Homo-oligomer: A and B are copies of this chain.
Amino acid sequence: MAPATNAAEASSTGGSGRRHHGNRHGRSEQARLAVLRVADGLLVEKGFAGVTMEGIAARAGVAKQTIYRWWKSKTDVLMDAFLQDATEDLTAPDFGDIALDLRDYLRRLAWFLSESDPGAVFKALIAQAQHDPVFAQDFRSRYLDGQRRRDRLPLERAVDRGQLPPDLDMAAETDQLVGPLYYRVLVTDEPIGHEFTDGLVDAFLRRHKLTARTKS
């Protein structure tokens, strides 16, 4: 069984010989990391249906009770794993120009959603959110709200710079920029190339009568 080795690796990150297996010193970091890593791995390897509490417990060398003590469902585990991996990855750069900022950001968002491993987890979580309103609420407050704030950043900076009018409907504009990406990823499964994301930016510029300073 792999867990022995995995556990060893996990504990080696804790500097000195501080291994606690079951003890009176609070939660086992080792167990927590093993669970998250295994959950991620199972999702990528066997798909959503292949992620089970029993499967995670067995492969992580962890007791089921330990998982239930700290997470309330397998989707909660996956969300934790996702948050650990994904947070702060998707912040738009500041090139000082709305066109450049958006172009870069949408490309990276597209890649994240359609190509990356965390993107696969994201899709699984969004799927779960369709089935479970409580989970949906949780997912929004723990990830999506923050993501929406990051989505809006380039526009806010452009308003600050005076490139865009201050009375812009931020929510609607953001939805028009990122909505088509999510639509392709979640619904049509068509590939998203640079021409598609760049096209979104161009459309945005055109309807606000702006022009791109540079072209890629």
Contact = CB atoms under 8 A, between A and B. Distances in A.
A199 B174 CA distance: 12
A47 B182 CA distance: 24
The A interface is mostly helix, strand or loop, or mixed, namely helix
Please indicate which of the listed interface residues A48, A129, A207 has the most CB atoms of chain B within 10 Å of its own CB: A207
Given A128-B127, A130-B127, A207-B207, A176 B188 contact: no
30 contacts: A47-B132, A48-B131, A123-B130, A124-B130, A124-B131, A126-B127, A126-B187, A127-B128, A127-B129, A127-B131, A130-B186, A140-B188, A140-B189, A144-B187, A144-B188, A148-B188, A169-B199, A172-B196, A172-B199, A172-B200, A175-B183, A175-B196, A176-B176, A176-B180, A176-B203, A179-B180, A179-B182, A182-B182, A182-B187, A186-B186
